[in-house]
Structure 1
Amino acid sequence: MVTIPEFYLGKNVLITGATGFMGKVLLEKLLRSCPAVKTAYILVRPKAGQNPQARVQEMLNCKLFDRLRDEQPDFKEKIVALSSELTQPELGLSQADKELLTSCINIVFHCAATVRFNETLKDAMQLNVVATRQLLAFAQLMKKLEVFIHVSTAYAHCNRKHIEEVIYPPPVDPKKLIDALEWMDDGLVQDITRKLIGERPNTYTYTKAMAEYVVQQECGNLNVAIVRPSIVGASWKEPFPGWIDNFNGPSGLFIAAGKGILRTMRASNSAVADLIPVDVVINMTLAAAWYSGVHRMMKIINRLHRSMMLVEYFTSHSWVWNTDNINMLMSQMNPEDKKVFNFDVRQLHWAEYMENYCMGTKKYVLNEELSGLPAARKHLIKLRNIRYAFNTILVVLIWRVFIARSQMARNIWYFVVSLCYKFLSYFRASSTMRY
């Protein structure tokens, strides 16, 4: 089979969610490791008074693209930003942009989604389900489309203990739910949300499961693959270790703990931390598109793995996912592709990765210099000593209370025994006198 870079040779790629965490890593890796790719079209909505081009320019100036900038100084010429709103009919594209995309796109990566766990059901359905339906309908018009990659989540079916590499039918038909939500007011939607999502912990996992079903039901003749990463964390190796740019998931946990804000949290010692580095997910995603494109068949790539959740539900439970397709995909790759598009986490040194992750949150999220590490360590040592002192004082107080209560219990016992003895003595004396 052709290598992965050969597969992307001369291809036009469409990426949604390119300004998000995974989307921008996908864009960087695609351009850097597949330099022969022709054009990367990214759909971006105007935001905070910025047009799509300005938002993309700001994104490309971040540290993530430093390595790409050094290796391919002209990489920006391959990126075309188009104004779009995925929840709108025909994605809110202009007529010229629609004609351009339908005539040239070879591969679609659908990464756009809301990842907020507390999103209202109506908004989550719009962003995760309606947007997916709109994109699928548009993809049906693409004359040269070879592969449609939909990025889901390993927790889409977290209401099940064992999760197969299949799409499970939802309890409610997505189209009927979308129609019903259009006329419901916010209060009514809030009232029925808990009943609808059932055993799932939030609207995010519920709507991502809905989106998978929509992909299956409405893909038509499209060659589709679904990628299910677990909790996506900082980079393992690429473009450099520990890169992260958000507070989501474990990042917020590491920052809060590192700053001494978070001292305790509820979790289960037996629950598995399903954390996966972002570059592993992106390498696997690009490999999945390669495999699906070469074999021309629908593949469902079920991503499991790793991580800690700030949400109690995920830190207190464990799941089992199959990885047969992952192993199969890896076995199909030649040694060079396995090296360039490495997603074998068995090679990952977790202690080193977690250290880089923590350093990444400090450097890239908080924008703090690593030169401040000695002071930060002293601060943490100080907080630790305060905690130890507090715990010691607490133990001493509990011990004193216990001793005091024990002494009181002994006094009461002695009083009761003495009273009984006196009573028995009086009883014997009374009996003797009567006798």
Structure 2
Amino acid sequence: MNVGVVKVPVRPDRVQSAHRLQRDVTRLSPPLLPALGLLSAGFLLLLLSVSALLSAAAGSTPHLKSRGSYRISGRSGVVSRNPATMVNIPEYYAGKNVLITGATGFMGKVLLEKLLRSCPDVQSAYVMVRPKSGQSPQARIVDMISSKLFEKLQDEQPDFAQKIVPVNSDLTQPELGLSQEDQRTLSENIHIVFHCAATVRFNEPLKDAMQLNVLATQKMLALGRKMKQLEIFIHVSTAYANCDRELIEEVIYPPPVDYRKLIDTLEWMDDDLVAAMTPKLIKERPNTYTFTKAIAEYVIQKEAGDVNVAIVRPSIVGASWKDPFPGWIDNFNGPSGIFIAAGKGILRTMRASNDAVADLVPVDVVINTTLSAAWFSGSQRHHRPKNILVYNCTTGGINPFHWGEVGNCINMTFKTNPLEQAFRRPNVNLRSNSFTNQYWTAVSHTLPALLYDCYLKLTGQKPRMMKTISRLHKAMMVLEYFTSHSWVWHTDNLAMLMTHMSPEDKKVFNFDVRQLHWAEYMESYCMGTKKYVLNEELSGLPAARKHLNKLRNIRYTFNTVLVVLIWRIFIARSQMARNIWYFVVSMCFKFLSYFRASSTMR
């Protein structure tokens, strides 16, 4: 097929008209050309002005009023405004009254300190505290804010304590143990609730775990529904609430049982019967803690009503990363006790997978996420999504760190900066095989503990090492499930939250764990256990290193004596053993001679 140029016929009259127009224009005198240009420009400006007036009139129409730039973020269907139209986090908390449960716990302390220090214009922080060990709530708060954690806040805001309002309460009691006056005060004044209180004991009896983790949450929601100015209710859960799943999304999963029937059943059932049926209830979950935390989330979903709720799910919460200073930790819970046992040389072997992800998350990362989540959901309470926003506050999918690396960091840190009066040199080993771990537990834990207790008895002291080893083994059994498995957590909402923060808020309330350098963090974590849990001064490091060298010399001496004994018992008394020994030695000498000769020839 031939392709040619198509010629379109042109009408002669059109050509003549065009020539006449061109001739007339060229005949115009030069002074008239600028006039025509000005006339055209004026006409164009007139059109633009009319267009602008029409646009302004349309913009002033009430039903077309602009509210900022909205967009759908992630899978949660969050209708969110442009960050430029939102106030920053400290401005949001300015003038607000905040209620915190669990304020005397590890996370609650950090939350209170961070809130008061980074949001200095917050009106008041009401903290629900129960009397304990003969101390009133007020006395407990005074003791808490006198700790090192609050020193930085004390320097920046000497009068910060005036903003803290202790509220006498007990979450296990009807109506949370609140007086009628306190209920009225909270109902009329509170804008933001942080529900952090929970039992963190993994092996808590089911009745107690339900009381503290589920029923207390139910009561807090009921109180929240009475609060006239409430903007956001933040519930702190755990990333392991649904650990029976390998993939955990930022959604609330239904529990395996009807929580209402379970609550009714536990009211009349005796403790022995509850203990017998607990394994069947929790099914594939490892303990009552994760089971009741999952139920608490579902209770929130079903009973929140008009309360604006968001849920934060941290994984294994560890020492602080940056805020208020690196390495702050004040308890033996979770991995901290294991780290200390390893540093003391008591823990030598542990059941864990070297390749499993150690989903540690610094406590200040969790708190920054929590405060930011409250800001975001509280600011957009009039445009909140249908589903409750859930934030998986984890590190494994963003900046993974493995248990094998954790063990190496512990050994390196405590060999360089040893704990005082160590029992043995730090050398923890992780083993995935159960039989191998049991063997080394007997050899490295039980046998040395028995020998040491015998020594204490002979010297007239009270034996204590076997008791310590027994407690250590119980703690390791509790953590074994989490150190031997890995999970995949979706963190879409966490990423979405970060995109809505201003550059300044991202610095002050940083939860971007991509910036976390694990080796440095683990060193500060281990040193934090030394300084803040064991209260050991850094000035004692030279003596601790000297003691560690002494333990090394003892170990070398013991190994030498052991070799000599084996020689005397098995080799010196047996002709066959001697022949084998001489053969091995001669082969070694021949190999060395060959190696030396080869090196000379080169």
- 1:315 maps onto 2:503 in alignment: no
Counterpart in the other structure of 1:355:
523
Q: Deviations over 1:13-33 (max 9, x none)?
A: 000000000001000000000
Matched residue SS, 1:156: coil
Q: CA deviation at 1:266?
A: 1.1
**1:113/1:390 Cα in 2 relative to 1: closer, same or farther (>3 Å)?**
farther
Counterpart in the other structure of 1:36:
121
Amino acid at match of 1:92: G
- 1:122 maps onto 2:122 in alignment: no
Amino acid at match of 2:161: K
Amino acid at match of 2:395: H
- 1:92 maps onto 2:177 in alignment: yes
Q: CA deviation at 1:387?
A: 5.5
Find 2:390's aligned residue among 300, 304, 311: 300
Q: CA deviation at 1:198?
A: 0.8
Counterpart in the other structure of 1:134:
219
Matched residue SS, 2:310: strand
Distance across 2 between alignment mates of 1:331 and 1:239: 24
Distance across 1 between alignment mates of 2:354 and 2:300: 36
Distance across 2 between alignment mates of 1:216 and 1:384: 57
Find 1:10's aligned residue among 60, 76, 95: 95
Deviates more, 1:299-308 or 1:209-218: 299-308
Matched residue SS, 2:361: strand
Distance across 2 between alignment mates of 1:230 and 1:388: 41
Amino acid at match of 1:302: N
Counterpart in the other structure of 2:365:
280
Distance across 2 between alignment mates of 1:345 and 1:122: 36
**1:271/1:54 Cα in 2 relative to 1: closer, same or farther (>3 Å)?**
same
Counterpart in the other structure of 1:342:
510
**1:188/1:295 Cα in 2 relative to 1: closer, same or farther (>3 Å)?**
same
Distance across 2 between alignment mates of 1:98 and 1:385: 65
Deviates more, 1:129-138 or 1:345-354: 345-354
Higher radius of gyration, 1 or 2 = 2
Does the CA-based 8 Å contact 2:93-2:122 persist in structure 1?
yes
Taking the TM superposition and a 5 Å limit, the aligned residue runs for 1:1-400 are 1-296=86-381, 297=384, 298-305=388-395, 310=476, 311-383=479-551
Q: Deviations over 1:309-356 (max 9, x none)?
A: 941111111101011111111111110000011111111222221111
Does the CA-based 8 Å contact 1:259-1:380 persist in structure 2?
no
Does the CA-based 8 Å contact 2:190-2:229 persist in structure 1?
yes
Q: Deviations over 1:45-80 (max 9, x none)?
A: 111111110111111100000000000000000000
Q: CA RMSD in A?
A: 2.4
Distance across 2 between alignment mates of 1:65 and 1:355: 22
Distance across 1 between alignment mates of 2:484 and 2:556: 27
Deviates more, 1:288-297 or 1:127-136: 288-297
**1:397/1:137 Cα in 2 relative to 1: closer, same or farther (>3 Å)?**
farther
Structure 1: 5+ residue runs without aligned partners? 412-435
Does the CA-based 8 Å contact 2:206-2:278 persist in structure 1?
yes
**1:376/1:2 Cα in 2 relative to 1: closer, same or farther (>3 Å)?**
same
Distance across 1 between alignment mates of 2:510 and 2:131: 35
Provide the TM-score with structure 1 as the length reference.
Answer: 0.89
Does the CA-based 8 Å contact 1:258-1:380 persist in structure 2?
no
Provide the TM-score with structure 2 as the length reference.
Answer: 0.65
**Dislocated runs of 4+, deviation >6 Å:** 388-402
**1:395/1:52 Cα in 2 relative to 1: closer, same or farther (>3 Å)?**
same
Does the CA-based 8 Å contact 1:85-1:93 persist in structure 2?
yes
**1:84/1:154 Cα in 2 relative to 1: closer, same or farther (>3 Å)?**
same
Distance across 2 between alignment mates of 1:204 and 1:108: 22
Amino acid at match of 2:535: N
Counterpart in the other structure of 2:73:
none
**1:114/1:384 Cα in 2 relative to 1: closer, same or farther (>3 Å)?**
farther
Q: CA deviation at 1:385?
A: 5.6
Amino acid at match of 2:116: L
Q: CA deviation at 1:376?
A: 2.3
**1:3/1:190 Cα in 2 relative to 1: closer, same or farther (>3 Å)?**
same
Matched residue SS, 1:140: helix
